[in-house]
Amino acid sequence: MQNLAFEYDVCVIGGAGHVGLPLAAALAEKGQRTLIYDINEAVLKRISAGEVPFMEDGMEELLPNVLASGKLALTSKKEDIGKADIVIITIGTPVDEFLNPVFKLIKSCIDDLLPYLRDGQLLILRSTVYPNTTDWLARYLEENGRELQVAFCPERVVQGKGLEEIKKLPQLVGGVTPEAQQKAEKLFGLLAPEVVELKPIEAEFAKLFNNAYRYIEFAIANEFYMITRAAGVDYYRVLKGMSHNYPRAKNIPKAGFAAGPCLFKDTMQLSAFSNNRFSLGHSAMLVNEGLVLYIIDEIARDYDLSQLKIGLLGMAFKADNDDIRSSLSYKLKKALEFRAKKVLTTDPFVNVDPELKPLDYVLENSDLFILCTPHSQYKNLDLKGKPIVDIWGFFEKEFDGKLAVESTAPALAARGSNVR
């Protein structure tokens, strides 16, 4: 794989981020001379010192090793980008206030890089992009008189488990030309057990469909949860019953906050692409976002919110992680601050929110809790007999197949089983 005409085999643009860093470290571990380029100099400094800037399984061990081996280097100098044979873009691709993709971020990143990219390099888009972005990029480079190869190879790992999953998941590779395809396949073949060849537009859809499908799956669970609750039925008894040894229901997720930097915005990217006629995607958004307000209404049925001090347990967007980007815990906090006497928040991993309180303080000073993020360490919490809203079914016992025989519980009692 090594092209000795280049000082580096790969340069990862946005390499200090959640996708870029695990990818760069995994490539360096495979012996690729890897360069991280990022505009965030403060984080580059921390990574250079061996500090992992966010939670990522296995990174604490791997990062010092790849730095010491000399296979991983870091830079904020654009001139260095031309020293790599392959350049991989992993910058963020958010949606804007109209829920449309912010295309100008990709374009201005490319415009910034353009003077430093070298003809003959392979340029890979790894960020999740709006359909046809890869073909646009190839055209744009050509119009600017540049001769680079272009491919789209989406990242599909789950956040926090990138290092583990990158070695297990098939890699989708969509090269604009056969040369780009071959070279990108060779690179990702170093990491993954198999490579799947697609056209760029097919790979772009595949990535967006993967995320939208997951988002809709969560919405189904959340809607089932709200339907059963309104009928006075315990959703987790139904879920256990319907999925017990029944293969076609085994993948139905538990209810809970479907949030984070990817699922929502990628569903909306797809919707923007289909002229806002992705009705399932929009419905999923209403359900997933609406769950937060539903919980508040449900508490308000049983309690006078204006007298209630509410403790929110977990502010990260997912369990056992420190990432608060697009976390619905914050939407819940905002809505509750308007109605409740006090809102206290805590999280064992988040270290960027000065309003967070220690867990013991929140346990002591709240009247009721909402389990926002089911961090494993909350499993054996002493709630001091106070009620907790458990949308996740986190405190449910393992199902032994014998639960689902009782008659339907009365409405209040069923509600009480989740507001414990």
Ligand X SMILES: NC(=O)c1ccc[n+]([C@@H]2O[C@H](COP(=O)([O-])OP(=O)(O)OC[C@H]3O[C@@H](n4cnc5c(N)ncnc54)[C@H](O)[C@@H]3O)[C@@H](O)[C@H]2O)c1
Query: Interface with ligand X includes 16 (CB under 6 A)?
Result: yes
Which position has the token pair 């057990």? 193
Binder of ligand X out of 1, 7, 31, 40 (CB under 6 A): 40
Per CB under 6 A, the segment of 16-24, 79-87, 145-153, 284-292 that binds ligand X is 16-24
Query: Interface with ligand X includes 127 (CB under 6 A)?
Result: yes
Nearer Cβ to ligand X, position 320 or 367?
320
- Shortest Cβ distance from residue 357 to ligand X (Å)? 26
Neighbours of 377 (CB within 10 A): 12
Binder of ligand X out of 261, 311, 314, 348 (CB under 6 A): 261
Q: What is the rounded CA–CA span in Å between residue 74 and residue 46?
A: 11
Q: What is the rounded CA–CA span in Å between residue 174 and residue 92?
A: 20
Nearer Cβ to ligand X, position 258 or 419?
258
Window 146-185: residues binding ligand X (CB under 6 A): 155, 157, 159
Binder of ligand X out of 38, 85, 234, 390 (CB under 6 A): 38
- 281 φ, ψ to 5°? -65, -45
Query: Interface with ligand X includes 222 (CB under 6 A)?
Result: no
The CB-nearest residue to ligand X is: 17
Which position has the token pair 């989740």? 418
Classify residue 70 as exposed, middle or buried by CB count within 10 Å of its CB (0-12, 13-18, 19+). exposed
Nearer Cβ to ligand X, position 32 or 93?
93
Query: Interface with ligand X includes 63 (CB under 6 A)?
Result: no
- Shortest Cβ distance from residue 83 to ligand X (Å)? 16
Q: Is 290 helix (H, G, I), strand (E, B) or coil?
A: helix
Q: What is the rounded CA–CA span in Å between residue 97 and residue 99?
A: 5
**One character per residue 65-94, x = contact with ligand X (rule: CB under 6 A):** -------------------------xxxx-
Q: What is the rounded CA–CA span in Å between residue 93 and residue 80?
A: 23
Burial profile 223-238: b = 16 or more Cβ within 10 angstroms, e = fewer: bbbbebbeeebbbbbb
Which positions touch ligand X (CB under 6 A)? 13-14, 16-20, 37-40, 90-93, 109, 112, 127-128, 155, 157, 159, 261-262
